[in-house]
């Protein structure tokens, strides 16, 4: 089946620094990937749609200058949280559209970001 690899699985960073999270499609090409954020005991909220070779599309209320998305190849999308603050601490999850393979949308394992 389709596999989406995400890392790191967890990261702790100091306030004001930047953190990069990688999302790779291992056995398929992903023209489009999606980035979600999930706070404790809450649902997944879509942050942005990452498009290979073009700019990401951000959801309303998501700061594009703070959450930089790069999708330079068909197998890799990255999310960089810039100038992180404690309120950015969350669980970040990427996914890819694998509906053609009858797997729905396939998700990565998530990254727990803690900003101290």
Partner 1 sequence: GESVGLHLPTLSVQEGDNSIINCAYSNSASDYFIWYKQESGKGPQFIIDIRSNMDKRQGQRVTVLLNKTVKHLSLQIAATQPGDSAVYFCAENNGNEKLTFGTGTRLTIIP
Residues of this chain that interact with partner 1 (CB under 8 A) are 4, 6, 32, 34, 41-46, 49, 91, 93, 95, 97, 99, 102-110, 112
Contact criterion met (CB below 8 Å) for 11 and 111? yes
Beta carbon nearer to partner 1, 9 or 83: 9
CB of 16 to partner 1, least distance (A): 26
The one-character DSSP state at 103 is: S
Instruction: Tell the smallest beta-carbon distance from residue 55 to partner 1 (Å).
Output: 15
Which residue, 60 or 116, has its beta carbon nearer to partner 1? 60
- Considering only CA atoms, which of 107, 113, 106 is closest in space to residue 20? 113
Shorter beta-carbon distance to partner 1: residue 82 or 105:
105
76: three-class secondary structure by DSSP: strand
With CA atoms as reference, report the closest residue to 45 among 9, 87, 3, 95. Answer: 95
């Amino acid at each position: 089946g389709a596999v989406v690899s995400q890392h790191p699985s967890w990261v702790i960073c100091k306030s004001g620094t930047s953190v990069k999270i990688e999302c790779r499609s291992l056995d398929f090409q992903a023209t489009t990937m999606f980035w979600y954020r999930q706070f404790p005991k809450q649902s997944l909220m879509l942050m942005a749609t990452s498009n290979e070779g073009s700019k990401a599309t951000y959801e309303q209320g998501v700061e594009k200058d703070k959450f930089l998305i790069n999708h330079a190849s068909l197998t890799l999308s990255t999310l960089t949280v810039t100038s992180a603050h404690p309120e950015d601490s969350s669980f970040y999850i990427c996914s890819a559209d694998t509906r053609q393979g009858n797997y729905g949308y396939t998700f990565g394992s998530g990254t727990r970001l803690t900003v101290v």
